[in-house]
Structure 1
């Protein structure tokens, strides 16, 4: 009887130990805190779904683009394998809210660092320097910002690009705001709008698509400097530090340049050199 009781007690102790071990390893990320997606050891990362060359959801459900490659590299440095990354669409107007709600751990989605956004989120990076430009039809006579007065100018809701032009360059421009850039590009093709404005990296990606080849051109204007950063929930300094270290490694081991060449090379886009972490070009 005593032997049976002792054996039962041993089994109970082992069961408790196993339970404690399981609880102690319950979906923790590399910093020891709960990951963005409980219950599966996954990390949720915000990207764009509609930006060729940067963040694009493909017909087979996979994702491609420079931001996707950067996000994948960073997540790997944080301890996650590619199959543990869950990409979540984060549109421009919802990026701050997605981080505040905890929907994603970080966002790599052509997210330009500026003072207004830094009040709501923290940024790692920058990891790419782009410039605001215009995309117009190949036969368009729009060649400078002031040509947009009286014209229909498109960008997406939540983006500052179109408003920057209206405020500082072409006050009589007629703004059109759509939910995603692909709608602006379709509007440009149909003639519903005269120009699309956002970062040259984004515009180049669209112009290089097979279905649009030869139809559009970049105006070649450097209307602003756009320092792409990785957005992190406000106050999460530890994650910012780790992402910055990952970005520095990505540049030093040449993975950054490989991602640039792979995603931007086919469009002929002339990118700036890799920016220094923490250095914002005004």
Structure 2
């Protein structure tokens, strides 16, 4: 796949209209994607981009068929820098356990799905970025009082194949009762009714759930920084040309202020205290693993 480079004017227009265009096409196909099969004007190339469909604030499939969230905004900006219009993006659901295999099979061109960079994953895929720094935390009911010392005695929920689940087993709370589900949204009812004590994953994901209207006042973040999670854009292993192209787009997004606008638009309602953007192309944090 060859993708033509967008001009400076197109990038500027996309940055200004990011919030309006990030939802993508409402004309959804039956295969789980939201693209229009590349029928946009001018013969523009299309992209298949993996995102989460069930993470409010990051990647969410709306009831009307559109898509919203910070990762959606980041992916849309990257696509624009590559000369691909929002209507020529096909959104593909990328569950945590399937992300590596999706890239290896070529199911998607790249993945922007709260995808934490790790040395183990780098053996299987390559990463552009990092473009966001999150920290693992707990989402609990608002009437709960929790402490870090008590995590080992809790019943926790996380997602199969996620860095968060592995962190619990390896270091955070190896004695905790960890229940692994396919998606984070499946954990919420059990936490809500007290069957599980807490949902654990990145604070960015938890903030998105806590900010949802249907959960208003029911959940809170415990306020623990249990790990550093650097989000990257996943691409096929050793596709260095695509990594470089995405890194250039991410730096432009930061420099033009579109990155901060997207963070505020998606996480602002949860009063989430986010970190400043990490340095694009700097993977020195992996040396601490």
Instruction: Find the aligned partners of 1:168 and 1:28 in 2 and give their Cα distance.
Output: 43
CA contact (8 A) 1:147 1:170 kept: no
Secondary structure of the corresponding residue to residue 114 of structure 2 = strand
Aligned length: 249
Indicate the residue corresponding to 1:29 in structure 2. Answer: 3
Secondary structure of the corresponding residue to residue 187 of structure 2 = helix
Over the aligned positions, Cα root-mean-square deviation in angstroms equals 1.5
Equivalences for 1:34-183 in 2 at 5 Å?
A: 40=38, 41-144=45-148, 146-183=149-186
Instruction: Find the aligned partners of 1:172 and 1:125 in 2 and give their Cα distance.
Output: 34
Secondary structure of the corresponding residue to residue 99 of structure 1 = helix
Indicate the residue corresponding to 2:196 in structure 1. Answer: 193
Unaligned 5+ residue runs, structure 2? 6-34, 39-44
| Structure number with bigger Rg | 1
* Offset of residue 42 of structure 1: 1.6
Instruction: Find the aligned partners of 1:253 and 1:169 in 2 and give their Cα distance.
Output: 38
Unaligned 5+ residue runs, structure 1? 1-26, 32-36
User: TM-score scaled to structure 2, two decimals?
Assistant: 0.83
Instruction: Find the aligned partners of 1:211 and 1:126 in 2 and give their Cα distance.
Output: 32
Indicate the residue corresponding to 2:240 in structure 1. Answer: 237
* Offset of residue 163 of structure 1: 3.0
Indicate the residue corresponding to 2:260 in structure 1. Answer: 257
* Offset of residue 135 of structure 1: 0.7
CA contact (8 A) 1:153 1:162 kept: no
1:75-128: per-residue Cα shift (whole Å, max 9, x none)?
111110000000000000000000001000000000000100000110000000
Indicate the residue corresponding to 1:9 in structure 2. Answer: none
Indicate the residue corresponding to 1:271 in structure 2. Answer: 274
CA contact (8 A) 1:122 1:236 kept: yes
* Offset of residue 279 of structure 1: 2.1
User: TM-score scaled to structure 1, two decimals?
Assistant: 0.85
1:219-275: per-residue Cα shift (whole Å, max 9, x none)?
111111000000000021100000000000000011101101100111100100011
